[in-house]
């Protein structure tokens, strides 16, 4: 779903057919980075976990020469982009599923924005701090729901890797972001919010709801994607999604 939303924004922000310079910070196993390289873009992936970057390198090694030549993998922290790259070096910067594990996200977001060339696109995938009470509330965990109404702290839970849907280890405790706060942050770093989507509005939130996309039967997948895609761009549904996908454009 995030890939569909991202492609929609790339088509809106950049001329058709333009080959883009992409930075994927916290790329995980590299699913999104590899997908964009297959589309012809030049991609740099940054990942701090040596196991994940080793997996990404192994997957990349199986690709044709032309695709491998378009991908650079860097082991490092997202906050160190200023060490590895010059300001304005990229047309697109992705930071998916990272901010929830960063105690103070604003400096990281500001650093990512500095990597963007004028007119560049910043894509953030974050936990929705305005909807943390939804999942415990829908499952009858009233104490958890009451606590979540006044908090942006996350409880431990299993999750799927944000960029590719591959099952991952249980997520540690972390934090979530509120739409209003991130909107203000993007405005303050000269990459104002261009558009935003909800991700995981219905899928996987309650025992009776459809399972996450990675485990849905093929004959039901397109219907699930159609529902999630429409809900993820429609009020009020997108406002209570489990995740938010925000796209800012550098002025």
pLDDT of residue 125: 98
**Global pTM exceeds 0.85:** yes
Cβ neighbours for 224, distance < 8 A, ≥ 6 positions apart: 203, 210, 213, 216
Q: Residue 208: what pLDDT? A: 56
What local confidence, expressed as pLDDT, does residue 153 receive?
79
Q: What b/e sequence results for 35-61 when a residue is b if at least 16 CB atoms lie within 10 Å of its CB, and e otherwise?
A: bbbeeebbbbbbbbeeebbebbeeebe
pLDDT of 83 reads 83
Provide the pLDDT for residue 203. 86
Residues of the chain with pLDDT under 50: 157-172
Query: Do 155 and 144 form a contact (C-beta atoms < 8 A)?
Result: yes
Q: How far apart are CA 29 and CA 46, in angstroms?
A: 10
pLDDT of residue 231: 97
Domain 2-249 has what CATH class?
alpha beta
| pLDDT tens, position by position, 27-85 | 999 999 999 999 999 999 999 999 999 999 999 999 999 999 999 999 998 888 888 89
* DSSP-derived secondary structure letter, 214: G
């Amino acid at each position: 779903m995030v890939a569909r939303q991202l492609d929609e924004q790339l088509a809106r922000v950049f001329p058709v057919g333009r080959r883009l310079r992409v930075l994927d910070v916290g790329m995980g196993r590299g699913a999104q980075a590899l997908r964009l390289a297959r589309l012809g873009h030049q991609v740099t992936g940054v990942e701090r976990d040596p196991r994940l970057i080793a997996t990404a390198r192994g997957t990349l090694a199986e690709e044709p020469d032309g695709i491998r030549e378009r991908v650079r993998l860097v082991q490092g922290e997202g906050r160190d982009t200023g060490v590895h790259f010059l300001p304005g070096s990229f047309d697109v910067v992705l930071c998916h599923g990272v901010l929830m594990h960063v105690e103070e996200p604003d400096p990281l977001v500001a650093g990512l924005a500095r990597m963007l060339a004028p007119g560049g696109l910043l894509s953030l995938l974050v936990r929705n701090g305005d909807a943390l009470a939804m999942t415990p509330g829908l499952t009858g965990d009233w104490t958890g729901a009451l606590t979540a109404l006044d908090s942006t702290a996350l409880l431990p839970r299993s999750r799927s890797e944000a960029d590719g849907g591959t099952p991952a280890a249980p997520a540690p405790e972390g934090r979530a972001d509120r739409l209003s706060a991130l909107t203000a942050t993007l405005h303050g770093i000269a990459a104002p919010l261009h558009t935003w989507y909800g991700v995981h509005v219905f899928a996987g939130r309650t025992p009776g709801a459809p399972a996450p996309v990675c485990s849905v039967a093929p004959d039901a997948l397109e219907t699930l994607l159609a529902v999630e895609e429409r809900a993820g761009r429609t009020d009020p549904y997108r406002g209570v999604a489990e995740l938010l996908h925000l796209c800012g454009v550098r002025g």
